[in-house]
Amino acid sequence: MPFKDFFTEYGEANLYEIQEVVGKGSYGVVAAAVDTHTGEKVAIKKINDIFEHVCEATRILREIKLLRLLRHPDIVEIKHIMLPPCRREFKDIYVVFELMETDLHHVIKTNDDLTPGHHQFFLYQLLRALKYIHSANVFHRDLKPKNILANADCKLKICDFGLARASFGDAPSAVFWTDYVATRWYRAPELCGSFFSKYTPAIDIWSIGCIFAEMITGKPLFPGKNVVQQLELITDLLGTPSLEAISRIRNEKARRFLSSMRRKASIPLSQRFPDVDPLALRLLQRLIAFDPKDRPSAEEALSDPYFYGLANVEDEPSTQHISKFEFEFERRNLTKEDVRELIYREILEYHPQMLQEYLRGVDQIHFMYPSGVDQFKQQFFRLEGPAGKAGRPPMRRRYASLPRERVCGLIDDDPDQSDSRSRAVVPVPRPALQSPKNSLDIKRSEAPNASAKARPTNDHKQLCYSARCLLRSDSISASKCIGVQGEDYL
């Protein structure tokens, strides 16, 4: 096989031109790059010493597997994974993601001018993604603004599937369920204090409701400092739950606490949020129902009157259930060598010819020529420079998942007080969101007639139409919905 063809088919060493480091941390380095064939901007994430801890390696395996199986416009996409030069000895992996500009947490934190059109359009995208995820029998389990990436055209994508689980309808093992550590502020009440639970997709619906309220107000809805305060804040708004609802709480101490709590009346959301669209509040009330059986499914929420004029069932696909075979590893005690082989098998999904040889039993451990990874090692080494991991990242950055908490982010009021994983401080330009009316000229190939200008008013139907035009956009132009102030992005 010609040398050039080898690189093109396997390593693709000449496919990406690395431009700059956009993130550093204990995990390794994230670099911005350009696909030299298509001109597409991507993020290449180098993860160092992936097998140092089997639990972290398993989490990465889980995420790259789920992101391969869950292909949807509202879910972050892995473009490619570089082929390692040695099957049984590799320690690092290079994952190529689509490049996103920021996350929803930063958008909310730095913008006090989000409009009702933004709220509606953002929520619609999240529920549309969740409908697809749940139709595969997958629970995300860690939905929060930091795990939702955002682009300049108001496009959102859910990321960080490291805590996600696929459900197969049978009894879960302790290994399968006990590592639930999702952020407390967005954790459903039936999970408060519980680390061993058989739960339903309603846990993700609750998280989406909390995110929706945060988009509206600019502040977390239930910023509890511990489990007790979390339940206090929830019941202060929703009132004391019924005995039936309390019985669904898995944690015995939490059940006793709620049972002994003084009776509280619920506060009408219209009183808590007096200037918010009543239809938005009606949907929010459903999303954050205390009892999980009272929460709508993502599909039911998409048909809510709040999305009148925006929802389109043809743009809300479902998918098949994920095969139980794909996640048999979750029920085994894996060794480092087991995880290495499983991750290698996932990498081969992005190298079809090598995969066919692997499936035929061709035991090719080392390769005749250096793979594309060898090319990137030198480029990343130069980019990292003498400062190494301690060096300060540049002013500009992009987000890439896998796993999300390992990606550089702002140090702020993160509710995960128990999370000892370090984050690097990265100054980020403030994304100032404009009104959706300024982005209605965005072009979308699948809906060429959706280019009419909308004028956001208090009329709900008009807001729906405005958001619909935003939705029907494939553009990533930063001059549309989000006008970036300060230093320009790449």
Which residue numbers belong to the known binding site for ATP? 46
C-alpha 139 chain-centroid distance: 12
The residue type at 10: Y
Task: Answer whether 136's CB lies under 8 Å from 166's CB.
Answer: yes
Kindly state the tokens that stand for 450: 């959706």
Neighbouring CB atoms inside 10 A of 418's CB total 7
| E strand or H helix at 432 | strand 431-433
Task: Answer whether 254's CB lies under 8 Å from 245's CB.
Answer: no
Task: Answer whether 188's CB lies under 8 Å from 203's CB.
Answer: yes
C-alpha 391 chain-centroid distance: 27
Alpha helices, DSSP H only, in 278-391? 278-287, 298-302, 336-347, 352-359, 372-384
| Helix 202-217 × helix 278-287 angle, to 10° | 140
* Neighbouring-strand partners of residue 433: 482
Where in the sequence numbering do the catalytic residues fall? Answer: 142
Nearest 5°: the CA angle 15, 376, 82 is 65
Residue 277, C-beta contacts closer than 8 angstroms, at least 6 positions apart: 116, 306, 460, 463
Rg (CA), the chain: 23
Distance CA 29, CA 15 (A): 19
Name the binding residues.
46
Count CA atoms within 13 Å of residue 92 on its CB side: 18
Distances, alpha carbon 93 to alpha carbons 46, 56, 357, 438, in Å: 6, 13, 21, 41
* Neighbouring-strand partners of residue 29: 24, 46
Distance CA 403, CA 20 (A): 21
